[in-house]
Amino acid sequence: MTPESVATFLQEHPEFFEQHADMLADIYIPHPHGGRAIPISERQILTLRERGKQLETKLREVIQFGEENDAIGEKVHRLTLALLGARDLATVISATHYNLREDFAVPHIAVRAWNVRGAVDAPELNPAGDATRNFASGLNGPHCAHHAAEGTSADLFGDAAEHLKSFAYIPLRASQTFGVLALASEDVERFYPEMGTVFLKRIGDMVGTALLRHLEEEA
């Protein structure tokens, strides 16, 4: 008989413990942290305490994640209000840069737009290179990485490109991709492939909508 078969038998026959209650009081097992042997009932109490501690740890993690998400949500809300209040293209661009830099501590921000009607007189919306356009157009959503997309780094970040170690690219879309919001940092852990992108997508949606509205108005 194997330990597994004994465990299976006890799980399938819980009445065993009722029929042999006296025997359980006489069973001693090793303490989980070494030292003396203890009754099985005391071992159960220790197990329940350990599970309680594990649940407390998980609860603290959930609360922490919730607080962090609330804080991010508040920052996104402030950016939303700034974009809604923007009366022209220059204000949209400055609000995007200011909020992402001050609220989200993103040190390097680039906005590019293409395929829009009329001339765009905004230095921040310099024409994007083919590599940047093709890369952004091929994205299904925000993309985070430790390496710049090939051919885009200097195009988007200029002289700072060689010092950057983490990147987030957010396509700006209407009926099709018309631009990109690119974020970067010297901190390799600021953006990483496994990070969540829900808030990045929302930011991209808001910035893209605000940009497109004023781009079309100025055209």
pLDDT digits (tens, 9 = 90+) for 143-185: 999 999 998 988 899 899 999 999 999 999 988 899 999 999 9
> 57 and 92: one domain?
no
Q: Cα dist. 193→11, 31, 64, 119 in Å?
A: 43, 43, 22, 36
Would you state the structure tokens that stand for residue 69, as one six-digit string?
Answer: 């998400």
Closest CA to 112 of 94, 136, 84: 136
Please tell me the pTM assigned to this model.
0.72
> 78 and 95: one domain?
no
Helix (H, G, I), strand (E, B) or coil at 30: strand
For residue 9, being part of any structural domain is answered with: no
Name the domain boundary from 54, 69, 85. 85
For residue 64, being part of any structural domain is answered with: yes
Helix (H, G, I), strand (E, B) or coil at 37: strand
pLDDT value of residue 120: 58
pLDDT value of residue 206: 95
Q: Is residue 142 very low, low, confident or very high in pLDDT (cuts 50, 70, 90)?
A: very high
Q: Is residue 191 very low, low, confident or very high in pLDDT (cuts 50, 70, 90)?
A: very high
> 137 and 192: one domain?
yes
DSSP 179: E
Indicate if the pLDDT at residue 30 is higher than 70: no
> Residue 203: which residues within 8 A CB-CB, separation 6 or more?
76, 79, 100, 170, 181
> 125 and 208: one domain?
yes
C-alpha–C-alpha distance, residues 192 and 213, integer Å = 31
> 60 and 102: one domain?
no
